[in-house]
Structure 1
Amino acid sequence: MSETMINMKILRKCGGELEHAIKCRCVKPCSTEDYINAMEDTITRTRTANTCTKKTKINEVQVIEEIQCTEETEESDLDSEVSEDTPVEDYPIENITAFFEVTEVHTHLPQYSKDCYNLVNIQNARMCKTKPAGGKGYTAGASFITSILMNNIEAKVNLNTGAFCTCVGNDYLRVILPEWKNHLLPIEGVQLSSASDNMYLLGILDTNIVFPHPAGSIRIKTEIVVMENCTFQHIMLGNDYLNIYGIDINNHKDRYFTIEENKIQKFAFSNMCKQIFIVSSKKDTYRE
């Protein structure tokens, strides 16, 4: 073995700070004696060898003596009847019942949500991704479910602008609209997923939605995608209707889902709609 290989093995055995200190002192190719002298000098000056990694304390485990049973166990009737020469076909057939403990039922249901959220008035409802105010982090995600009217029936809706389209599960739709299958339209060539979980689409429901508000309600006509393997008990409102009706709510600071006009403008229409409908300053009429 060459002297260079011996020096490399010595450095590997040192490791850590000691190896770095020896390399700094022996920059040029040195002999094994020079490496050993540098190592001894470094240990003497810095006492690097006295420092070691912290050892974890292992509690003493008491060994319990096993009590050996002196009584002979009785052999079962099945073992006594079956001999070594018995063919496999002659063995008795018995039912085996196995019980499996299910730890997480909703592992493959990422769209699962709790039903503990209270309904919030439309004036105080926020979008799902709105950052809470300072000191009110506990209210995050607790004020985005409000009530709407769907075909004159009250329903719960989730104000989630991150959704691609408005969707609902067939279980919740059966509660608010028992005859939903009679109004279902076919859907083809569309694939939706939620956190790598494929959604099974049943069809499209063409319906009217009303956001009630004392200052003036908003009535929109939207198409809701009905899905089979949904567990949330509300309607997931997507951002498709925002583009259709020109509602600009995503760029506001507070992003409240309000309709009332006040000093802090929280609800507005996009510039495209303002060019079509211009509000007259003299008369409360609209002109093209």
Structure 2
Amino acid sequence: MYGIDIYNSKNRHITIGTNKENKFSLDIYQISTKDTLEELLNELREAQFSTTLTSKHKLRLLKILRKNRQAFAFGEEPLGKIRGHDIELYLDVERPYPPMLRRPPYPEILESRKEIEKHLNELLEMDVIRKIGHNEIVEIITPVLITWHDGKSRLCGDFRALNNYTKGDRYPIPRIPHALDKLAKAKCITKMDCMKGLHQNGAKPNSMKLLRIICHMGIYEYTRMPFRIKNAPAHFQRMRETIFKEEILERWMVVYIDDIIIYSETWEDHVQYIDRVLSKCTPINLKISLKKCNFGQQELLALGHKLSGLSLAIDHNTVAAVLQKPVPKRVKEIQYFLGFASYYRNHIKNFSRITSSLYKLC
């Protein structure tokens, strides 16, 4: 069959042609909306794009993003659940479990109660937790906490006791400076972030029984990986490095827990790399947060650094936030400060000598 492509006044693409028997009757066999830069930008408006991209380059990128639309989380769409990578936790203590693993709920002020109720309803809606029935046997319970950051609240379990009795996962987390050294000579950099990363991982049935939380609303069970679990970062890192093994070995991709960084010297390679990564997300139901994506930049902030192919600099906003904190006076406060400072040790001359006396205090 051969055909003629035309566009009507409503900007719809219609292809017409004769059939295989070479009869002269017209056969309409394809109707699709003609892609325009404005339409695609409107659909993907939550993402950030480099202002240096030409219209041609941006249109090509937007078409790839639309093709891989199912890899992104849009608006109120359900949270993805990654297939085949459920977390499994093991305790290094036998029954009967110590009392520390079965604790009553913490006292809550009215404001905290309202926040707890709001977050529990959201987690139930996202299928991250389920309500425990009155006839179910409960051996391990963790009280919930409300934490605040930048004026926003977050619900999490106080899993310190459970973490103390959980067998550790020794899978290594990459050292950020070493991972980002690979970006030398990169002219195009893209950052993508998993939507509520840890919550996209399911939990094995035996592990769910360990992930039960309690508050004034009753007892709930995490069906997915919660925040503040001892082995969560190691599990998530292993999963991502398994999924993107080839891409990492080809040295154009960095994964750090729930962050993905793609880098290249040419735009042609860059859009192909983005396509490859997104096409691997859809089959396993891994969802990317579109509003946290930053595409095709020459320089961007990620992992506490300002990244470019020419240099690797400190994110001064992060440093300023720490400098505004009071001078550490307790051992834990000193440990926190040293942990933060060590993150930037490659940028601090004679770091070991300067901090040696502080380490002695710990």
| TM-score, length basis structure 2 | 0.19
The structure with higher relative contact order (CA 8 Å, sep 6+) is 2
Higher alpha-carbon Rg: 1
